[in-house]
Amino acid sequence: MPFEDIGFAKLDHHRAVRCGFPEVIYCLGKTPAQVAELFDRSAATGLNVLATRASAEVFAAVTARQPHAEYSDIARTITLRHTESERVGGTIAIVSAGTSDMPVAEEARITAEVMDQRTEVFYDVGVAGIHRLLAQSEALQRANVAVVVAGMEGALASVVGGLVACPVIAVPTSTGYGASFGGLSALLAMLNSCASGVSVVNIDNGFGAGYTAAMINKRCVASTDGG
């Protein structure tokens, strides 16, 4: 059965086979009851489940049926891990510029981990005090892929891109005001990065970056063999 029609949605059960991971539940524009229903059906497949952009109210509806589901306040994700798969191989570096970029960085980290990948975080290392980043450059070099999260002028993606040999997934955030135009400044900056190997996802799309990074990392041999 390639998909299941439950009225307000058509569940793509075939997706895990085709794409390697089940459909993720995006909570915006869905009622708590709808999310809970979708979460239940996903949980029934025996695979890990992830819901993003979930409010506390949505989590309440989900946890009523799935008591093992976990909520992250800061990332606004709900996760259910059936079995803690052994995480092997290389790591994904999650790098962020400032404290206010942390919700997006955490969404990326949790997404990668629910897909059974190992992560290492490097937070608050924005370019205004670049020694904080340079102090970690050896650790950064160990990653198979780096997720770089930054708002405002988004310069961190280019600087990291110039320091490492692995692909960089850049996530612009809506952090900032005025001429940041809701993240547009960081988005354009990242798209125009002078460093090679930087690709970009939507503003505040920590999920998309974590997902792409996980896709890359799971195909990699251990980082000691990489590069």
Q: Which of residues 7-36 bind a second copy (CB under 8 A)?
A: 8-10, 12, 14-15, 18-21, 23-24, 28-30, 34
Q: Which is nearer to a second copy, 68 or 74 (CB)?
A: 74
Residue 107 Cβ vs a second copy, minimum distance, rounded to whole Å: 12
Q: Binding to a second copy by residue 197, rule CB under 8 A? A: yes
CB of 30 to a second copy, least distance (A): 6
Q: How far is CA 193 from CA 19, 38, 53, 225, in A?
A: 29, 39, 28, 27
The secondary element (H helix, E strand) that includes residue 26 is strand 25-26
Query: C-alpha distances in angstroms, 216 versus 47, 88, 92, 111?
Result: 20, 14, 9, 13
CB of 21 to a second copy, least distance (A): 8
Q: Which DSSP helix (H) or strand (E) runs through 187?
A: helix 184-191
One residue of 44, 67, 138, 227 binding a second copy per CB under 8 A = 227
Residue 39 contacts a second copy per CB under 8 A: no
10/68 with CB nearer a second copy: 10
Angle formed by the axes of helices 32-43 and 56-65, nearest 10° = 40
Does residue 132 touch a second copy according to CB under 8 A?
yes
Candidates 36, 110, 204, 206; binder of a second copy (CB under 8 A) is: 204
- The residues that bridge with 171 in the sheet, in sequence order, are 149
Using CB under 8 A as the criterion, what x/- string covers residues 105-124 for binding a second copy? ------------------xx
Q: Does 154 bind a second copy (CB under 8 A)?
A: yes
Site for a second copy in 78-97 (CB under 8 A): 97
Question: Residue type for 81, please?
Answer: R
* Residue with smaller CB distance to a second copy, 35 or 68: 35
Quote the least distance from Cβ 26 to a second copy, whole Å. Answer: 8
Rounded distance, CA 14 to CA 6, Å? 15
Distances in Å between the Cα of 61 and the Cα atoms of 9, 32, 33, 67, 107 are 18, 6, 7, 10, 20
Contact 170, 199 (CB under 8 A): yes
Which among 40-48, 60-68, 75-83, 174-182 is the span making contact with a second copy, rule CB under 8 A?
174-182
CB neighbour burial string for 197-213, b if at least 16 within 10 angstroms, e if fewer: bbebbebbbbbbbbbbb
Q: Residue 8 or 68: which CB sits closer to a second copy?
A: 8
